[in-house]
Amino acid sequence: MGPQFLFATGIENSNPTIQNGKLRVDELEKCKHYQYWQKDFDLVEELGINFLRYGPPIHTTWLGPGKYDWSFADVTFQDLLRRNIAPIVDLCHFGVPDWIGNFQNPEFPELFGQYARAFAQRFPWVQLYTPVNEMYICAVFSARYGWWNEQLSSDQAFVTALKYIVKANVLAMQAILEVRPDAIFIQSESSEYFHAENPAAIKPAETMNAERFLSLDLNYGKRVNSSMYEFLMDNGMTRAEYHFFLENKMKRHCIMGNDYYYTNEHRVSADGSTRASGEIFGYHVITSQYHDRYRLPVMHTETNIWQGPNGDEAVNWLWKEWANVLRVRNDGVPMVGFTWYSLTDQVDWDTALREDNGRLCPVGLYDLDRNIRPVGTAYKQLIADWRQVLPSQSVCLQVPIVMPQDSNDAWAREQKQDVKEATADKSTVAANTAPES
Is residue 381 predicted with pLDDT exceeding 70? yes
Q: What is the pLDDT of residue 261?
A: 97
Q: What is the pLDDT of residue 5?
A: 86
Which one-letter amino acid corresponds to residue 168? Answer: A
Q: Say which range, 91-95, 309-313, 318-322, has the weakest mean pLDDT.
A: 309-313
Give the mean pLDDT of 316-330: 97
H helical segments located in 237-371: 239-247, 282-294, 313-330
Is residue 110 predicted with pLDDT exceeding 90? yes
Q: Say which range, 123-132, 155-164, 226-235, 326-335, has the weakest mean pLDDT.
A: 326-335
| Interval 170-196: pLDDT, tens | 999 999 999 999 999 999 999 999 999
Is residue 396 predicted with pLDDT exceeding 60? no
| Interval 14-30: pLDDT, tens | 999 999 999 999 999 99
pTM for this predicted structure = 0.95
- Residues in contact with 183: Cβ distance below 8 Å, sequence separation at least 6, in sequence order: 120, 127, 128, 129, 173, 176, 177, 253
Cβ 92 vs Cβ 132: under 8 Å: yes
| Interval 334-351: pLDDT, tens | 999 999 999 999 999 999
Q: What is the pLDDT of residue 283?
A: 97
**Binning pLDDT at 50, 70 and 90, where does residue 392 land?**
very low
Q: Say which range, 132-136, 271-275, 375-379, 416-420, has the weakest mean pLDDT.
A: 416-420
Dump strand ranges (E) for 17-164: 17-18, 23-24, 51-54, 62-64, 67-68, 86-92, 128-132
Mean pLDDT score across all residues of the chain: 94
**Binning pLDDT at 50, 70 and 90, where does residue 400 land?**
confident
Cβ 139 vs Cβ 223: under 8 Å: no
Report the C-alpha gap between 41 and 33 in whole angstroms: 10
Is residue 397 predicted with pLDDT exceeding 60? no
Is residue 239 predicted with pLDDT exceeding 90? yes
Please check whether the domain covering 7-390 is classified as CATH 3.40.190.10: no
Q: Which of 42, 99, 90 is nearest to 66 (CA)?
A: 99
Dump strand ranges (E) for 1-61: 6-10, 17-18, 23-24, 51-54
- Residues in contact with 331: Cβ distance below 8 Å, sequence separation at least 6, in sequence order: 284, 288
**Binning pLDDT at 50, 70 and 90, where does residue 419 land?**
confident
Q: What is the pLDDT of residue 249?
A: 82
Give the mean pLDDT of 378-393: 84
Q: What is the pLDDT of residue 55?
A: 98
Give the mean pLDDT of 349-368: 97
Q: What is the pLDDT of residue 395?
A: 45
